[in-house]
Amino acid sequence: MLLAAAALFAAVPAAAQVAPAPRAAAVAPARTILFVGNSFTQGAHSAVRNYRAGSVTDLNGAGYGGVPALFKLFAEQAGLNWQVSLETQGGKTLGYHLAERRAVIDRPWDVVVLQDLSTFSRERPGDPASHVRDAGTLAAMLTRANPRVQVEVMATWSRADQVYRPGSPWTGTPIAKMADDLYAGSRRARAASRDIDGVIPVGAAWNRAFAARVADPNPYDGVTFGELNLWAYDHYHASVAGYYLEALVVFGKVTGVDPRTLGANERAADELGLSDAQAVALQRIAWETLAAERGR
């Protein structure tokens, strides 16, 4: 009987003798990142706001893509697996998100980026007291949900309307000062909280772009040929170029990937209307800013 069975098997065509399927390669689970902020994270007043909205999860259901969608595309091009979510509300402080959106964001995340009001406080512009308090409280809450979470506080840019128009604490000061003040306030928040892991120096990148003449520092007197305008039409929010630079700095800080590796053919820049040369220049500015930050 054994000989008969062996003969029968030998008679089966080779094509029918199917070998066991190889095991599929294990795929690393996606890392999760949450962006908490306002219009500066949404990409307001630019094509970035609704850009690739389907690639990220808007926890408020508003359908924004914004800076988180740029981060997602950068990560994909770098071969990284990230699940990206955002919880944003225009014109609001971190305190608002803590009071009104806690149920939405109080869950385990791998990384959280916190972006506060552009002046910290409406009543006391430039005073970081509420920023220090609210960023620290949010970071502590997020750490309770996941003790290994990486919490980063974003320091945003100088607003041209606050510098070149009357009525602001920064009126008549150098364009870099507002961003420097916001950065200092975020450093205070980090120093005051053991749960905040770092500061994302977006405003410092804008300052570096001005100093390198990659971008024009004063849109009120016209934009110099060959230089970018990082602000939108209101000289307050960012332009496509400004949000692109913001996203590059966030990407480099969170992932540790050199933004320059995205290169001249980077897809978001092409789709949003930035030239290859402009994309490369902004990638270089982001890398130089992060290198300087690591040296602090």
Closest CA to 249 of 217, 287, 296: 287
Closest CA to 104 of 90, 120, 93, 89: 89
Residue 209's pLDDT is what?
98
Closest CA to 226 of 217, 237, 216: 216
Residue 5's pLDDT is what?
46
- Say whether pLDDT at 16 is over 60: no
Q: Are 171 and 177 in contact (CB under 8 A)?
A: no
Residue 29's pLDDT is what?
87
Worst-scoring range by mean pLDDT, 4-8, 167-171, 219-223? 4-8
Residue 99's pLDDT is what?
97
Cα dihedral 151/69/75/281 (nearest 10): -100
Q: Which CATH number fits domain 29-294: 3.40.50.300, 3.10.20.30, 3.40.50.1110, 3.30.300.30?
A: 3.40.50.1110
Question: Which residue type does 269 have?
Answer: A
Question: Which residue type does 54 have?
Answer: G
What does the domain layout of the chain look like in residue ranges?
29-294
- Say whether pLDDT at 14 is over 70: no
Residue 294's pLDDT is what?
86
Scanning 25-93, the segments in alpha helix (DSSP H) are: 39-42, 66-77
Q: Are 86 and 54 in contact (CB under 8 A)?
A: no
Q: What is the pLDDT of residues 68-96, one digit of tens each?
A: 999 999 999 999 999 999 999 999 999 99
Q: What is the pLDDT of residues 97-140, one digit of tens each?
A: 999 999 999 999 999 999 999 999 999 999 999 999 999 999 99
